[in-house]
Amino acid sequence: MTDITIAGRIERDDLDAILSTVYGEPGAVTRSVADNADAIFTWDYERSRPALSKLYEKAKTSQWNGSVDLDWSIDVDQEQVALANAMQNGGFEANLDLSGTAFEKWGDAEWLKVGIESQNWMLSNFMHGEQGALICTAKIVETVPWIDAKYYASTQVMDEARHVEVFARYLDTKLSGHYPINPHLGLLLDDIVAESRWDMTYLGMQIMVEGLALAAFGFLHQLTTEPLLKQLLRYVMSDEARHVAFGVLSLKEVYEDLSGPEIRERQEFAYEAAVRMRDRLLSQEIWERLGLNHAEQKQAIQLVMMSEQRQLFQQMLFSKIVPNCKKLGLLDAGDAWLRQRFTELGVIQFEDWVDTGEEYEALDEVAKDRAVNG
């Protein structure tokens, strides 16, 4: 793969092309994607993969109920949450030179609106991503040939349904509006669902999408002081850590037996997924909703989303993906093609961080709460 084929454009960093990406019909509430994989039955019921069996047992005891285990009676003042989040970062427009731009005369009211819409956008796309995970994990149940993996994946289907439920409820009852799915996220989910090879579904969803989500949830959990969202994220992260570990434990075995060209295909798939997720983080829909034209949207992204602080945030979201790709042998396989690409994206520094195959038990917040509460 060359940059010519990355995310359907000639230049990876072409901001005009990124902003022009579209997905589906405006206002459509359903989308059909061809699932090109075969459903696989297995008549071998021997439990031959102890690590997956351990993960399955952990999943069975770590289920939680979003209706009763979260305190939905908590009132959420969205303006105060937006202000508190901004203050954590030094203010809405901290360290931004707005002179000569369309935002030079913006005041606190305009930047507060950006903060509120950012909350709506972020939680909306968390919700959409969780539905993508719901569908992809149901596909894994069908397509993976091992009984241990089918057992575990079935628990993840329930987890993902619960995640969609609680994010939707939070958006409906605590925030002030949904956003449609981001085009770059939507196109990535289409690719993962349409893929005929079951390990590619694992790689795209369990390693890439879920890996970024786990890092994003952790960042937001640290940032927010809103108690309901903080508790919701703690529990979702408990599940997500198992989900990413599921991908790491499964694919490590598979990738040891693949040929060089087959591994290269996986490297390219991972890189394109990383580019699409990076593009998603530009959150262009916020600026569209605020009434900015194309030129102003581009300017806003260059000012706010590409500031040094925002670049650091975006890089941190890859802190789970890079070490997991290294654990799978994808970074340095062949001519270290993926290492070079991740270096270009500015995220290779995370390669020696702990991989999720080892840390998921430490992130089991549900078990910690049950131990405290009896």
Indicate the Cα dihedral angle 269, 270, 271, 276, nearest 10°.
90
Looking at the domain assignment, is residue 220 inside a domain?
yes
Cβ contacts of residue 275 below 8 Å, gap of 6+?
Answer: 6, 7, 12, 345
Of the candidates 40, 41, 36, 39, the residue with the CA atom closest to the CA atom of residue 196? 36
What was the pLDDT predicted at 3? 47
Q: Residue 13 in contact with residue 301, Cβ under 8 Å?
A: no
Looking at the domain assignment, is residue 326 inside a domain?
yes
What was the pLDDT predicted at 87? 82
Q: What are phi and psi of 150, to 5 degrees?
A: -65, -40
Indicate the Cα dihedral angle 168, 285, 243, 153, nearest 10°.
70
Looking at the domain assignment, is residue 124 inside a domain?
yes
pLDDT in tens, 273-312: 999 999 999 999 999 999 999 999 999 888 876 677 677 8
Per-residue pLDDT of the chain (374 residues; tens, 9 = 90+): 444 467 888 889 899 999 999 998 888 999 999 999 999 999 999 999 999 999 999 999 999 999 999 999 999 999 999 999 888 776 666 677 888 888 888 988 999 999 999 999 999 999 999 999 999 999 999 999 999 999 999 999 999 999 999 999 999 999 998 999 999 999 999 999 999 999 999 999 999 999 999 999 999 999 899 999 999 999 999 999 999 999 999 999 999 999 999 999 999 999 999 999 999 999 999 999 999 999 999 998 888 766 776 778 888 899 999 999 999 999 999 999 999 999 999 999 999 998 876 667 777 888 888 888 86
What was the pLDDT predicted at 4? 45
Looking at the domain assignment, is residue 70 inside a domain?
no
Look at the chain and report how many structural domains it folds into: 1
Looking at the domain assignment, is residue 28 inside a domain?
no
Q: What is the Cα–Cα distance from 364 to 250, expressed in whole angstroms?
A: 20
Q: What is the Cα–Cα distance from 159 to 156, expressed in whole angstroms?
A: 5
Cβ contacts of residue 318 below 8 Å, gap of 6+?
Answer: 211, 212, 215, 274, 342, 345, 347, 350
What was the pLDDT predicted at 83? 92
Tell me which DSSP letter residue 333 carries: S
Q: Residue 188 in contact with residue 277, Cβ under 8 Å?
A: yes
What was the pLDDT predicted at 88? 77
Looking at the domain assignment, is residue 58 inside a domain?
no
What's the CATH number where 142 sits?
1.20.1260
Q: Which domain holds residue 154?
A: 76-92+102-373
Looking at the domain assignment, is residue 39 inside a domain?
no
The answer to pTM > 0.85 is yes
Q: Is 318 helix (H, G, I), strand (E, B) or coil?
A: coil
Of the candidates 211, 334, 208, 333, the residue with the CA atom closest to the CA atom of residue 275? 208
Looking at the domain assignment, is residue 353 inside a domain?
yes
Determine if residue 346 is left, alpha or beta; phi over 0 gives left, psi from -120 to 50 gives alpha, anything else beta.
left
Q: Residue 334 in contact with residue 321, Cβ under 8 Å?
A: no
